[in-house]
């Protein structure tokens, strides 16, 4: 094994390249993970990335000529496509790297056609179908949901979004145009509060895996699952906020100046482009609000996990355990 290969094997790629104890470090990490270009990676490129990561973890010989930047590039590509707990390749639409291109199209459609009831129904259905897939794909641990549970969760989340959007549209019918333009954001925020807990409800029932500092699985915790779901819900709303709150003011200004009345065909492309610009930065910045490898303190754990820790560690009890909060 060459000296360069040995040096690369000393790098701990199981931890992100950037310091995750700081917001800036987490933002740098998620800029890599949510990079929309990762969506276009070929199956061969993904398999190459998985091979490199697997060989590195097993301390096997790495491909000749591989340097540190290429190693981290492979790890970032691997993280963008494979589930951190199960190692399974995720559905391409459900990956975080698909968030920007998918959301810019869906959000642009919701915000452009917010006045028509059939359009509201269609775009909210599309949005919640996409959200359900993302929430399921990025669930924490190895939680499994039955088909009936998935269908029930999906129907409740979609119904909640539609009731919110149609109800608010009725209430603000005579309000100023800018208020009407903000209705889609209110519907999305409300739906996230329903969709995420429902699609990940099995974690609330069974718990999510918790690990010690050496990544040894200690047990499953319902409290960790609850905390993770709350954090993800907040992040998703924060992710949508810039595009769905700031862009309506821009569009309202363009409408008042008569630009959109003269060029109505420009409404959708302008709105989609502005939303895409916001999401490009809002997606990684919102994901970075909370640590991906989240912490739960010993005092907040369930009694059965505390007992396992006492048996395993004796008097040297760890003060903190870790879990994957999901995305």
- Asked if residue 172 has pLDDT above 80, the reply is no
Instruction: Name which of 177-181, 231-235, 281-285, 319-323 the model is least confident about.
Output: 177-181
Provide the token pair at 103.
């959301």
Q: Are 318 and 210 in contact (CB under 8 A)?
A: no
Continuous segment of H or E residues that includes residue 295: strand 293-297
For CA atoms 67, 73, 76, 79, the dihedral sign is negative
Query: Residue 238: is its pLDDT beyond 90?
Result: yes
Q: What is the pLDDT of residue 257?
A: 80
**For residue 231, pLDDT beyond 90:** yes
Q: Are residues 34 and 109 part of one domain?
A: no
Report the domain count for the chain.
Answer: 2
Three-state SS at 219: strand
Average pLDDT, the chain: 83
| Claim: this prediction has a pTM higher than 0.75 | yes
* CA separation for the pair 240, 285 (Å, rounded): 11
- Whether residue 269 has pLDDT greater than 90: no
DSSP code, position 217: E
Residue 187's pLDDT band, with cuts at 50, 70 and 90, is confident
- Give the pLDDT confidence of 38-55 residue by residue, as tens digits: 988 899 999 999 998 888
- Whether 261 has a pLDDT exceeding 70, the answer reads yes
Residue 302 has pLDDT above 80, yes or no: yes
Using the structure block, give the residue that is written with the tokens 């396992």. 308
User: Which pLDDT score is estimated for 24?
Assistant: 94
Do 150 and 28 lie in one domain? The reply is no
Domain range for 7: 3-89
Last residue of a domain, one of 22, 57, 89: 89
* Cβ neighbour number for residue 117 with a 10 Å cutoff: 12
Q: What is the pLDDT of residue 16?
A: 82
Please state, in angstroms and rounded to a whole number, the distance separating the CA atoms of residues 327 and 311.
32
Which whole number is the average pLDDT over 262-277? 83
Residue 119 Cα distances to 58, 72, 190, 203, 274, angstroms: 52, 43, 19, 34, 21
Judge if 38 and 116 occupy the same domain: no
Q: How far is CA 290 from the centre of its chain?
A: 11
Of 323, 260, 307, nearest to 112 by C-alpha is: 260
- Please indicate whether residue 165 or residue 126 has the higher confidence score (pLDDT): 126
Q: Helix, strand, coil % (nearest 5) of the chain?
A: 70, 5, 25
Q: Looking at the structure, tell me whether residues 82 and 112 fall in a common domain.
A: no
pLDDT at 145: 63
Q: Does residue 210 sit in helix, strand or coil?
A: strand
- On whether both 165 and 277 belong to a single domain, the answer is yes
Reply yes or no on whether the pLDDT at 23 is more than 90: yes
Residue pLDDT, tens place only, 113-148: 877 788 888 988 888 888 778 777 776 555 566 667
Are 29 and 150 part of one and the same domain?
Answer: no
């Amino acid at each position: 094994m060459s000296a360069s290969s040995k040096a690369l094997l000393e790098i701990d790629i199981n931890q992100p390249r950037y310091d995750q104890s700081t917001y800036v470090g987490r933002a740098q990490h998620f800029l890599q993970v949510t990079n929309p270009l990762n969506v276009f990676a070929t199956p061969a490129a993904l398999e190459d990335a998985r091979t490199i990561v697997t060989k590195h973890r097993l301390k096997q010989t790495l491909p000749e000529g591989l340097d540190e930047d290429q190693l981290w590039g492979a790890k970032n590509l691997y993280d963008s496509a494979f589930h951190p707990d199960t190692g399974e390749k995720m559905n391409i639409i459900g990956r975080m790297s698909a968030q920007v291109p998918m959301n810019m199209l869906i959000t642009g459609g919701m915000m452009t056609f917010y006045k028509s009831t059939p359009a509201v129904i269609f775009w909210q259905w599309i949005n919640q179908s996409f959200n359900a897939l993302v929430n399921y794909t990025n669930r924490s641990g190895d939680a499994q949901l039955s088909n009936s549970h998935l269908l029930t969760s999906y129907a409740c989340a979609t119904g909640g979004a539609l009731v919110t959007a149609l109800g608010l549209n009725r209430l603000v019918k005579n309000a100023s145009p800018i208020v009407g333009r903000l209705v889609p954001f209110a519907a999305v925020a409300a739906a996230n509060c329903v969709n995420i807990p429902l699609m990940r409800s099995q974690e609330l029932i069974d718990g999510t895996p918790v690990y010690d500092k050496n990544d040894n699985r200690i047990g499953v915790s319902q409290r960790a699952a609850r905390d993770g779901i709350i954090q993800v819900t907040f992040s998703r709303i924060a992710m949508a906020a810039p595009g769905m709150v700031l862009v309506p003011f821009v569009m309202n200004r363009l409408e008042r100046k008569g630009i959109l009345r003269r060029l109505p065909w420009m409404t959708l492309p302008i709105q989609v482009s502005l939303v895409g610009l916001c999401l490009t930065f809002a997606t990684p910045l919102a994901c970075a609000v909370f640590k991906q490898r989240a912490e739960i303190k010993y005092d907040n754990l369930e009694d059965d996990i505390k007992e396992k820790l006492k048996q395993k560690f004796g008097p040297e009890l760890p003060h903190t355990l870790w879990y994957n909060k999901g995305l």
